[in-house]
Amino acid sequence: MTKASQKNDFIQQIAQLNMAITTYVTTALEPYDVNATNYFYLMKIGDHPGIGQRDFAKLINLNPSSITRAVNQLIKKGLVDKQINTEDKRTSQLYLTREGKKITKQVKRFVNSYNAKLMASITTDANEFLDQVVQLRIQIERTL
């Protein structure tokens, strides 16, 4: 594949962009013992304290078994606490621990800063571009 054809391969470019961002974010978040795969679990649980795992799965739109694995890792690290729902003993609720809240605050600061840096590097209207990428993702997900 020539350089010109690689540049025009949208799928490849998006995959490589994802890999580059994932690698950078994972490296930057190493001091917090989270990575590009699980940092947003902390952020979402922090934004929705007491959320049940079923609602959490709907919120982040991922496979329930993947969510369970990631949440269990965060529980093991002492960042998330899983409590039995007092109103429905068959379900549990997720909360950040004190350490989870502390780390989430620092992770949010990094993520917001990095998002702003990435968006500033796009020369076209960044918000319009992001909206188009999100719409494309939604369109693809609907075909799955």
CB-CB contact of 126 with 119 (8 Å) = yes
Please state which of the ranges 11-25, 38-52, 71-85 shows the lowest mean pLDDT. 11-25
**Total-model pTM:** 0.78
pLDDT at 25: 95
In angstroms and rounded to an integer, the radius of gyration of the C-alpha atoms of the chain is 18
Domains and CATH numbers, the chain: 34-143 (1.10.10.10)
Eight-class DSSP state of 124: S
Residue 8 binned pLDDT confidence (cut-offs 50, 70, 90): low
- Across 92-108, b (16+ Cβ under 10 Å) vs e yields bbbbbeeebeebbeebe
Predicted confidence (pLDDT) per residue in 73-118, tens digit: 999 999 999 999 888 888 889 999 999 999 999 999 999 999 999 8
Integer Cα distance of 91 and 97 in angstroms: 19
> What contacts 79, CB < 8 A, 6 or more positions away?
33, 34, 42, 96, 97, 99, 100, 103
Integer Cα distance of 119 and 71 in angstroms: 29
- Strongest mean pLDDT among 1-10, 78-87, 117-126: 78-87
Element (H, E) at 40: helix 39-47
